[in-house]
């Protein structure tokens, strides 16, 4: 028995993060996964995850305002795209983005090793 199409590389493993109702709609919350502090966002457009440290000066992105597929850092109001981590209003480096999947009310995160893993996805 052979699988129809095996992916060339194994995707990062999914790790359980929280239940859907643990994060208020339109906000973010932080947690540690695989030794990394990650900001998990429940935006109106879906779930996203970024490293919790703003590339500019380490601000807690989980405490930022979420809108239009982006988060605004609470310290200096720089905006980052939720899906890619790209800096939208500054020339900061991108924040590392992580894949999120929701299954049956449970939220899972695939913690990316590098930014490229998420950007390529």
Partner 1 sequence: MSRSVVIVGGGIAGQAVCEQVRERDREATITLVCGEVSPPYDRVRLSEILVSGEDPKTLELRPAEWFADQRVDVRCGRWVTAVDTAAREATLDDDTALAYDALVLATGSQPLMPPIPGIDLPGVHPFRTPADCAAIHAAAANGTQHAAVIGGGLLGLEAARGIAAQGTTVTVVHLVDRLMERQVDAGAAALLVPALAELGIDVLLERSTECIMGPDRARGLRFAGGDELAADLVVVSVGIRPETTLAREIGVACERGIVVDDAMGTDHDGIYAVGECAQHRGRIYGLVAPIFEQARVAAEAIAGEDALYPGSVLTAKLKVAGIDLVTAGEAGGEREAIVADPDAGVYRKLAVSGGRAVGAVLLGDTRGAEALVAAVRSGEPVDDPLQALADASALGPADLPDTAQICDCNGVCKSDLVAAVADEGCATPREVMARTRAGTGCGSCKPAVIEIVAAATGGLNEEPAYLCPCRKQTREQLAETIRADGHESVSDVAAACGTGRECGTCKPALAYLVSEVRANQHREERDARYINDRVHANIQRDGTFSVVPRMYGGVTTPDELRRIADVADRYEVPMVKVTGGQRLDLLGVRKQDLPAIWAELGMPSGHAYAKAVRTVKTCVGTDFCRFGLGDAIGLGTEMEKAWEGLHTPAKVKSGVSGCPRNCAEATVKDIGCVAVEGGWQVRLGGAAGGNVREADVLCTVETRAEALRVTTTFLQYYRENADYKERTYDFVPRVGLETVREVVLGEESGAALRQRLKIAKAATSDPWLERDDPYHPSQFSDLDEPGEQEPELALVGPPPEGAR
Per CB under 8 A, residues contacting partner 1 are 13-18, 22-27, 29-33, 35, 37, 40, 57-60, 62-68, 70, 72, 74-75, 77, 79, 101, 103-104, 106, 108
Q: If DSSP codes are grouped into helix, strand and coil, which group holds residue 63?
A: helix
Looking at the Cβ atoms of 75 and 119, the one nearer to partner 1 is 75
The residues, ordered by sequence, that sit 6+ positions from 79 with a Cβ below 8 Å of its Cβ are 70, 71, 72, 73, 87, 88, 89
Q: What are phi and psi of 80, to 5 degrees?
A: -130, 140
Question: What CA–CA distance (Å, rounded) separates 4 from 1?
Answer: 9
Least separation, in Å, of the C-beta of 71 and partner 1?
A: 9
Least separation, in Å, of the C-beta of 67 and partner 1?
A: 2
Looking at the Cβ atoms of 60 and 121, the one nearer to partner 1 is 60
Looking at the Cβ atoms of 72 and 97, the one nearer to partner 1 is 72
């Amino acid at each position: 028995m052979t699988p129809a199409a095996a992916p060339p590389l194994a995707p990062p493993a999914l790790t359980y993060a929280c239940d859907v109702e643990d994060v208020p709609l339109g906000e973010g919350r932080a947690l540690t996964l695989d030794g990394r502090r990650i900001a998990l966002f429940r935006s109106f457009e879906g779930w996203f995850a970024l490293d919790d440290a703003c590339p500019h000066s380490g601000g807690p992105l989980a405490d930022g305002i979420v809108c239009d597929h982006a988060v605004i850092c609470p310290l200096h109001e720089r905006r980052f795209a939720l899906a890619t981590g790209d800096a939208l209003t500054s020339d900061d480096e991108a924040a590392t983005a992580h894949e999120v999947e929701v299954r049956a009310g449970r939220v899972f995160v695939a913690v990316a090793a590098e930014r490229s893993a998420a950007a390529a996805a």
